[in-house]
Chains A and B, each alone.
Chain A
């Protein structure tokens, strides 16, 4: 079975541009979360979506947005890119987002975004 898949694997963008990153969760998983991992740091939570609704949002500016589709795949969009947005963007899927559920998050390989 395929794990969490992310595309593209690498991306180079110019300051001010817009970028869309894509994630396909494990089959049967309904929750998708996005994390930003800057070089030398641990991943930081950006968003969680469950059943196409936003369930949680981290401390990121409004330039960051996301959505989840009926097939539970997800897109992360970043507008007006800054040099500081250069990072590894990780997607994680889990079976459910029911509060208190002991669900495990499975991570994809990530998309490495470089802003020049």
Chain B
């Protein structure tokens, strides 16, 4: 079985400040790792993913996440946030040995302060 823990339900941060959203997972098998973003009243959009290779993955809008196998973590970071980054962020995993479901964390609400 797999589980995903997002330690912070809400993270307030000032505009242009750096941010880190934490994610830890538990799994008895190898997994693919994802971060999804959900803007108010919208569905989920894939922000970035780790499938294999370099443990540092980047998105087109300045976010990055690093896969740490020993700590079973996949924290999301951005060096300078903008008001448009206000959203809910979900960390998720999918077992490599099956393709039927994605397991999500409970989400972290990023609240940008002016």
**B103 contacts chain A at the CB level, 8 A cutoff:** yes
Taking residues whose C-beta sits less than 8 angstroms from the other chain, chain A's interface range is: 20 to 34
Q: Are A103 and B99 in contact (CB under 8 A)?
A: yes
- A100-B96, A100-B97, A107-B44 known; A45 vs B102 contact (CB < 8 Å): yes
Q: Are B98 and A99 in contact (CB under 8 A)?
A: yes
**A7 contacts chain B at the CB level, 8 A cutoff:** no
Q: Are B43 and A108 in contact (CB under 8 A)?
A: yes
Chain B residue total in the interface (Cβ 8 A) = 24
Residues of A within 8 A of B105 (CB): 42
Compute how far the CA of A4 lies from the CA of B101 in the bound complex, rounded to whole angstroms: 17
Least distance between B59 CB and chain A CB atoms (Å): 13
Chain A residues at the B interface, C-beta cutoff of 8 Å: 4, 31, 33, 35, 40-45, 48, 55-56, 58, 90, 92, 94, 96-110
